[in-house]
Amino acid sequence: LTALPKSAALPRGAPDPEQARFRLIKIALGNPHRYGRYRLFTMGLTLAVLLGVPLAGLARVDLWAGAHRMLGEPVELLLGLATVSVAIAAFYGATFLLNMVAGRVFCGFGCPVGQLSRLSDAIDALSRDAAGRRQTWLKLAGFALLLVGATSLWWVGPGVYLAGGLAMLAAWAALGAGVGLALVHARRWRWGFCRKLCPIGLYYSVVQTGGLVRIHYDEKLACTDCKACAGICPVHLDPRHLGQLLDSPGGLAFPGMPAANHCLSCGACVEICEHMTRREPLPAAMGFRSPRQ
Binding site for ligand SF4 (CB under 6 A): 107, 111, 113-114, 193-194, 198, 200-201, 215, 223-229, 233-235, 237, 239-240, 263-269, 272-273, 276-277, 283-284
Neighbours of 263 (CB within 10 A): 24
C-alpha separations of 118 from 25, 55, 125, 185, 225 in Å? 10, 27, 10, 11, 25
Judged by beta carbon, residue 56 or residue 252, the one nearer ligand SF4 is 252
- Minimal distance in Å, beta carbon 267 to ligand SF4? 5
Judged by beta carbon, residue 68 or residue 195, the one nearer ligand SF4 is 195
Measured distance CA(148)–CA(181) in Å, rounded? 9
Closest-approach residue to ligand SF4 (CB)? 201
- Minimal distance in Å, beta carbon 165 to ligand SF4? 36
Neighbours of 172 (CB within 10 A): 12
Nearest Cα to 122, choosing from 138, 109, 108?
A: 138
- Phi first, then psi, for residue 247 (nearest 5°) are -75, -50
- Minimal distance in Å, beta carbon 223 to ligand SF4? 3
- Minimal distance in Å, beta carbon 83 to ligand SF4? 23
Judged by beta carbon, residue 50 or residue 61, the one nearer ligand SF4 is 50
Answer whether 102's CB lies under 8 Å from 213's CB.
Answer: yes
- Minimal distance in Å, beta carbon 46 to ligand SF4? 10
Judged by beta carbon, residue 182 or residue 235, the one nearer ligand SF4 is 235
Nearest Cα to 151, choosing from 55, 41, 39, 40?
A: 55
Judged by beta carbon, residue 61 or residue 143, the one nearer ligand SF4 is 143
